[in-house]
Amino acid sequence: MNYSQLPKEELQQIYDLQKAEYDSFVAQGYSVDIARGKPCNEQLDIAMPMLTGEGLENMPKNYRNYGMLDGIPEMKKLFAQMLGVDASEVIVGGSSSLNLMYDTIQRALQFGILGAKPWNSQPIKFLCPVPGYDRHFAICEHFGIEMISIPMTDEGPNMDLVEQLVANDDAIKAIWCVPKYSNPTGITYSDAVVERLASMKTKAEDFRIFWDNAYVVHDLSDTPDNLANIMEVCARVGNPDRVYQFASTSKVTLAGSGVGCIATSKNNVKDILSHLTIQTISYNKVWQYIHYLFLKDMDNVKAIMAKQREVIKPKFDALVNAFQDAFGSDSDIAKWTNPNGGYFITLDVLDGCAKKVCELCKGAGLTLTAAGAPFPYGIDVNDRTLRIAPTFTSDSDLVVATQILVCCVKLACVQKLLAEKNS
């Protein structure tokens, strides 16, 4: 439905209807949270057999002791297969890939990369495709790194803009990417975008792509997206050290209690380990081995992810179907994504209404990711984009959440259109 072309009276009727519905939600005192990309209990249950201790009698005894800074060979190999790299290009870390990203930036700030000047010695900038992952942007803001927003297209960041910027400003040291099932838009970078990212000329020779491959095996479809192997392309075009790739099993096994990794060129691995060997003696190799016993190999990882999909695909479908029912195709107040994988649905509402929708939802007991959160400094200049995380909530709560959300979108947008017509 095209709301902006409705006559004022009809808009007012819709408004009144929605307002009545909204008031009834408020009266019912709901409390539902679809703010964060957290797995639900049914997903986490899938990994519980990991914790029985079965098979641990085969663990090499030295895994229980200090050493093996870059992780156990079994998990290096598994991550290598998952990411299409060589095991020698993998450092297996602790339970958090975000921690590995933060530390990688902190190292670059303090020490520089591969002998280049420390980033701390100069004002630096990161390119931030938007909408993007709020925790990436929070790291930049925390370190005082200037963020430059790059609009996302259906194929990845706007590469014309990216190429132009990195070619001319050596303060631009990096770009954040969630290349597969992007957080939050759900798109996967096209081969052409990957090729251009790998081969573009950068004025900064210590330019790095932070390739957060958070959803590498997190398909929601029988025809999953295919992401080109950026490290392969980088090696081919002569920029072998350009990419820091990150992944973790947080959404394969246990959230916050998974195993994270960095995959990067051997030069970068050596550079990182030269600092890491001072920072720690080794990561938790027993936990890594427990993961190896449970995950086994890529076929088994895919089987686990199929179980995950069984739990969460209906949640995505429910949300998307409800939006379709409520707004129809080509609505001018709501457009949403229907991703092939990942953890999020992006809902774009009428410009200038996202904050209002959040506020209304909050009033009715529904917590959304704050409007603006997927943008640097929390500022969505269009006040348009909402990130929806359907996985954590129970199916029944998700029904309520969707009803509240739909109601609040209509209410906020119609109110705006009414105000415009009145002015």
Binding site for a copy of itself (CB under 8 A): 36, 38-39, 41, 44, 47-48, 51-53, 56, 61, 63-67, 94-96, 98-99, 102-103, 106, 109-110, 120, 135, 138-139, 142-143, 250, 254-257, 275, 278-287, 290, 392
Q: Which amino acid is at 369?
A: T
Cβ neighbours of residue 131 under 8 Å, at least 6 residues apart? 152, 184, 185, 346, 374, 375, 380, 385, 387
Please state the closest distance from residue 105 (CB atom) to a copy of itself, in A: 10
Please state the closest distance from residue 284 (CB atom) to a copy of itself, in A: 4
Q: Which is nearer to a copy of itself, 96 or 340 (CB)?
A: 96
Calpha distance 93→276 (Å, rounded): 10
Please state the closest distance from residue 93 (CB atom) to a copy of itself, in A: 9
The burial class, CB within 10 Å (0-12 / 13-18 / 19+), for 291 is: buried
Please state the closest distance from residue 24 (CB atom) to a copy of itself, in A: 31
Q: Which is nearer to a copy of itself, 12 or 120 (CB)?
A: 120
Please state the closest distance from residue 45 (CB atom) to a copy of itself, in A: 9
Q: Which is nearer to a copy of itself, 28 or 110 (CB)?
A: 110
Q: Which is nearer to a copy of itself, 44 or 399 (CB)?
A: 44
Contact 71, 90 (CB under 8 A): yes
Calpha distance 126→69 (Å, rounded): 29
Q: Which is nearer to a copy of itself, 370 or 418 (CB)?
A: 370
Give me the phi and psi of 366, to 5 degrees please: -110, 120
Q: Which is nearer to a copy of itself, 103 or 219 (CB)?
A: 103
Please state the closest distance from residue 65 (CB atom) to a copy of itself, in A: 5
Three-state SS at 134: helix
Please state the closest distance from residue 34 (CB atom) to a copy of itself, in A: 14
∠ CA(162), CA(142), CA(389), 5° rounding? 75
Q: Which is nearer to a copy of itself, 110 or 122 (CB)?
A: 110
Please state the closest distance from residue 66 (CB atom) to a copy of itself, in A: 5
Q: What are the CB-based long-range contacts (under 8 Å, 24+) for 251-254?
A: 251/37, 251/39, 251/43, 251/214, 251/215, 251/218, 251/308, 251/343, 252/47, 252/217, 252/295, 252/301, 252/304, 252/305, 252/308, 253/47, 253/50, 253/291, 253/294, 253/295, 254/44, 254/47, 254/50
Q: Which is nearer to a copy of itself, 43 or 182 (CB)?
A: 43
Three-state SS at 367: strand
